[in-house]
Amino acid sequence: MRYTELFKSIIDILFYALCLGLLVLLFLGPLGLNSMAQENKLIQEWDVISWLILAISTLAYILLIIGVKYLKNVAGIMTKSISFGPSVQINLKKSGKSLIFSSLLNYLTFALVFVKQLTINVPVEITFDNNLLLQIFITIIGLYFIIQSDILKMSYNLKQENDLTI
């Protein structure tokens, strides 16, 4: 039970930190956003691809928050009782899908940055950095949640069948 409460606490902290980050991006970003990681120019000098990268990155961030919110729901259910009913399965599957879509959008931003580097004749750098590793890890976690949801659904159905057997 101690680990379940720790799990819920960490998920809560992560969720609220991500929400705070989104609020900072939405409200303080336009006031003082001078550059982003993929750009070395001021915001006034951005082209269409730069704005597209920002929009896709923001959408990916929102999907990440949604995925963590579903995981927060699972943690809340688990702290009340250690049952793996339909609500846990549904929330795990939704969390996994949100995390995977978030990662896919981030892969798209990596591709757009690469294409942009090709079009503006900047020396192309192909790197395997922590950002890409993090997206691969989030994709794996999302797939794991979907698989875990399916396993929980099968075991719940099997339990229901056995409960009905007299």
Q: Give percent of the chain with pLDDT exceeding 90.
A: 39
Please check whether residue 65 is in contact with residue 24, taking contact to mean a CB–CB distance below 8 angstroms: no
- Residue 121, phi then psi, degrees to nearest 5: 55, 40
**More confident: 123 or 39:** 123
Q: Select from 52, 56, 71 the least CA-distant residue to 116.
A: 52
Tokens of 78: 């688990």
**More confident: 31 or 95:** 95
Rounded to 10°, the helix 130-164/48-80 angle is 40
Local confidence band at 34 (pLDDT 50, 70, 90 cut-offs): very low
**CA–CA gap between residue 140 and residue 30 (Å, rounded):** 33
Tokens of 30: 């336009």
Question: Would you say residue 62 has pLDDT above 90?
Answer: yes
Reported as type and span, the H/E element at residue 79 is helix 48-80
> pTM of the entire structure?
0.82
Confidence (pLDDT) at 12:
92
Local confidence band at 7 (pLDDT 50, 70, 90 cut-offs): confident
Q: What is the pLDDT of residues 71-120, one digit of tens each?
A: 999 988 888 876 777 888 999 999 999 999 999 999 998 888 888 878 87
Chain centroid to CA 11: how far? 13
Confidence (pLDDT) at 144:
95
**CA–CA gap between residue 74 and residue 161 (Å, rounded):** 24
Across 42-71, average pLDDT: 85
Q: Select from 90, 107, 96 the least CA-distant residue to 153.
A: 90
Tokens of 41: 């120019």
**More confident: 46 or 42:** 46
Please check whether residue 28 is in contact with residue 71, taking contact to mean a CB–CB distance below 8 angstroms: no
Q: Select from 61, 80, 90 the least CA-distant residue to 1.
A: 80
Across 30-55, average pLDDT: 67
Kindly report which listed range (3-12, 45-54, 132-141) carries the lowest average pLDDT score: 45-54
Local confidence band at 5 (pLDDT 50, 70, 90 cut-offs): confident
